[in-house]
Structure 1
Amino acid sequence: MELLLHILGEEVDCMTCDIKYLPPVRLDFRLPLKYPSTEPPLYTISCIWLTRKQLSRVCEKFDMTWSSQKGEVVLFQWINFLQSDLLHVLGIEEKLDLSSLVQGLRHSKKDELLSLDSRAVQEIPPGSSLLDHLLAYDEKRRLLAFEESVQMCNVCFVYFSVLIKEGSVNRLQCPEEKCTSYALPSQVKDLVSADLFVRYDRLLLSTSLDLMKDVTYCPRTFCLTPVLLDDESTIGLCPSCSFAFCKHCKRAYHGVMPCALTEEEKGVIYNEFIRGNDGVKEHYLKKYGRRQISEVINQFEFKKYCSENTKPCPNCKANIEKNGGCNKMSCFKCGNFFCWLCLELLDPCNPYLHYSTSNKCLNKLFEGVDDEMEDFVYEFL
């Protein structure tokens, strides 16, 4: 069972670790001469990742079992409880919060300690912290499990080599269906060739850096050195080639000037800003500035309006809007006549000839004109 450990300390607010193997809960017992007739087993129960208060609850559970089943062989029931029901009774499912345990070890009062069951023992090995001990135990058990699985399936060697060559280096797992072990970097080093391990180590580092928000890469293709960024500044300075660049656009650092955006980048910003929530909008405003965002929005809103309401002049490509009248149009920019329907340039001497001779627009001079305008035209004629 995988448990998430939440450690609260003096220097950090919260630390979460992924633990697959926890040290065992230890039950030391001695059977009296009159067990099970009249006396229960004498015992102590210990565990480094449970508080004495939690262990005292276990002692209380054991005592209740003996009281209700005096004369029975309860020892096996106790062991079965520890193996099957302990976590459920203590309310531990997937997350084990050790903050109270760490704080209890530092701040426990004498009266509180005396009120706990003397058979409940909670000890941390000398010379190591609780977290260090748990992580070391988990790594040791993972290594043991992996070594046992490797002895059963030699296909891991070939499989790992193929994955590393393909660039898949995260959590290398045995391909056998019943094997659930993940290889540690030290185990991969023993399994594959030196060249493959160098590639594995480099890709694993790159993958880890990609997940860090405050790390990017030098934009120069011949460098690509990881660069640590400052949240309070927009500049990134490569420690290898000394290239100063903007952390947003990855181009040469431009100070307080807004980033130069390509049309594709502007399109992405417009779509995400229009459709995004307040958090997304605040992100883009902080990244590019209110002025540049306004320019991008105005530009794309204008393009949208033009695509829906205007057509280009076939001669000079100026955007022409038709707000009434017939389909013979006159460009405001170059002065040429053209047909609104087919966008064909018309004879400047007789532009209406197009609507009496053209197969495409025959008798379509007033096609699309609204009813009131059409009645006015016929009445005028």
Structure 2
Amino acid sequence: MNGRHHRHHQNHRDKSKLRYIKKSELVVSSPNSVADVEKRVSPEEDVDVKCNNNNVDDVASSSKTKEEDDYDDGIDIMDDRLDKLLSDIQQPELSHEQIIINDQLQQDELLVVESIYGENVFNLDSWKGLRCFQIHINIDVLGEIGITTKVNSVNEVETISGNSDDFLYSFKVQYLPPIILTCLLPMSYPSHQPPIFTISVKWLESAKILSLCSMLDSIWTEQQGQEVIYHWVEWLHSSSLSHLGFDEEIRLGPYGTNRVADARVVSGIRCIDADIPFLQSYNNEKHHQNFLKELHECCICYSEYPGTEFVQLPCKHFFCRKCLQTFTQIHVKEGNVSNLQCLDAKCKDMIPPGLLKHFLGDEDYERWESMMLEKTLASMSDVVYCPRCETPCIEDEDQHAQCTQCFFSFCTLCRERRHVGIACMTLEMKLQLLQDRQNSSTLKGNQRQIELAKINEMLSEREVRRDSKLCPYCDMAISRTEGCNKMKCGNCGEYFCYRCNKPLDASDPYGHFRDEGSCELFPREMVENWQRQTHINPRQEIQQIHAEVFHAGGSACPSCRQFNVKMGNNNHMLCWACQSHYCYLCNKIVMRGSKHYGPKGCKQHSEG
């Protein structure tokens, strides 16, 4: 037996990817198989799973550390089960002709099952001269189904003893790990005896799996002497959940009571810390596999691509690679790092740095990192930049700072050399001083050009300050051309009042203008200007009233689409809203001095 195990172990990795596999590659729900799932869920670190139950069905020891020992234990489990199940049945004496008939029926049934279930059927090595195969049965779930388990306040899973401090943890999945049906066909099947089988489920406790086994026994009893593999698989696929009472919700556990003597039952439940991540990971993986196989439409460019051409963000919104790459590159080049959010209009989640590094080149990614650093430093109220080398410095309580790079000590208010006890020079004072120095003969070399460039910079800064306000968050100069006093900084995305320059609450930026004694939302001069622009004369008011009261005998203006009433028999219309002249008959604009009406044109006067 050991030699046979060793031979199968050598070929295990080579054949694990084939559709037709060896019996030694049979999937067994053992403690070690659950540990493999945990490693796949969290590959970055070792997961310390504390389980509170001992699974009697699992024969292999959970303390195994070597891959070879784990593999051999899995084979030992299945060998022991098949030996026990085969020894429990009494083989009837069959004629040679009956053996040939049964063998042909088995072969035909296996071909039919393979043609229907395709990749979910795995032919195994013949075991003691008998056919052995395995079917992975995907459970039919309509939409999503809830999974619930009971946890108590000390993080212990549900046991038979119950606890008043228990609470329920629930989540939903669309895909469940398959039920694994392993069948060994005796020579007396189907004429006299049923297939020898095991049912392996990684998320069901043993008592529920035993209930499934009993149902398969009942199906054989009803159809004794006939092929039943297809009927078993179809029942497990479509009716197993309802049979267990899981039509709307699956209840995990109870844990700690997993004791069933039937060798056909193979339960993989371990503990809540292992089962929940396993179910969630399997559901997410199936979703991803189906997504990659299907065609999807990008909501940005409205083009259809296979799922492999899309990128899904952590917020679950997905976009095609071309659109996402163009989006990230444009915003980084323009410096709008605050806009590197999900492209969905209602989602504000940021694009992860890992995806940005994938879509941006090395140069653009370094630029993004630099801008993010600058934005972070700008959001810190005690960080200022050295006026000489632009190194970030920490401001003290006296509005002074010292550069750690060039050791220049400066005033953070006027950005000049530190001047203790002396008031800061205003921008106008600095500008006047430098302009006076331009006429001095003491300036040598390129000093005059340097100071002239500084004068031009100050003049520009003065003009900017005259027509703009500085954002209270990042000190970006912002100018309002029209509209209300609620401003949004294009650099940091924060809100502030343009009138008093105070920050606004992002959750309710208009609340500042609703309070009594606060700033007005719209400037008074702007409101008066709108009133002057929208003022209409009494004649227009009468025409507007006629248009609202009399809907018959009129037409819409071809210019602004406002309705106008035809008065009398005159077909020359004057729109009360935009003051355009147009013809009632042909609905065309009539220019002054044109010969629109006449023998060759429309009639200016007509009834109706």
One fold, TM greater than 0.5? no
Which structure has greater helix proportion? 1
TM bucket normalised to smaller: 0.3 to 0.5
Higher Rg: 2
TM-score of the two chains, using structure 2 as the length reference: 0.28
TM-score of the two chains, using structure 1 as the length reference: 0.43
